[in-house]
A and B are shown apart, each in its own frame.
Chain A
């Protein structure tokens, strides 16, 4: 199972772009990278998923270099409501493999 490492916490200001990097050195060939967002006392919510290069949706962008050993979640122009915990996961193609939620990155947006 590929383990991920991400910063424990980050602070930023409203209107800034926030980049959260995650390392996953032993990612397997068929694994995807997935990011979830969790607000206090709620279940996590899927944000974005990718395999390589760049993926963008209405919420975020995900950058994955060619070696796939790391990924960066980019949140454009954050607001106070983006204060949450962000989890980076390696998502195995093999359905018998579990996915592992680490401790995530606690992002705090300041006014």
Chain B
């Protein structure tokens, strides 16, 4: 079964701790994305990666870091520098062919920091 997975579904952390959210895809997609969603809001782009070992900042990258060492994996670290980390985090992937890209989303991780 091809798809994109995120784990865990719910994550609780104390303020001041770094936390890493997992995102894995077996769709053979080159591009991967991380979004943040706050209640009643749309999705905001944190980081994206078009190819292995390369990534770019999105609109709200401050306080976050990513790596793209493997095509299948794009973990997101929420650092203690992120002022309001509690949110719903969504990972997505898409092909990098020349045709317009459709993004496939994972189920999301709901992070609560207290």
* Chain B residue with the shortest CB-CB distance to A43: B105
With A43-B106, A91-B100 given, is the CB distance from A103 to B42 under 8 Å?
Answer: yes
B108 CB-CB contact with A under 8 Å? yes
Picked from A34, A41, A104, the residue with its CB within 8 Å of the CB of B102 is A34
Whether the Cβ atoms of A34 and B100 lie closer than 8 Å is yes
What's the count of A-B pairs with C-beta under 8 Å?
53
A contact residues, range: 20 to 34
Whether the Cβ atoms of A93 and B106 lie closer than 8 Å is no
B contact residues, range: 20 to 34
Whether the Cβ atoms of B92 and A43 lie closer than 8 Å is yes
A87 to B104, CA, bound (A): 14
A91 to B41, CA, bound (A): 20
Interface string of A29-73 (1 = CB under 8 A from B): 000101010000111111001000000000000000000000000
Whether the Cβ atoms of B31 and A95 lie closer than 8 Å is yes
Whether the Cβ atoms of A49 and B100 lie closer than 8 Å is yes
Whether the Cβ atoms of A46 and B102 lie closer than 8 Å is yes
10 residue pairs A–B, Cβ–Cβ below 8 Å? A41-B108, A41-B110, A43-B92, A43-B108, A45-B105, A49-B102, A91-B100, A93-B98, A95-B96, A98-B59
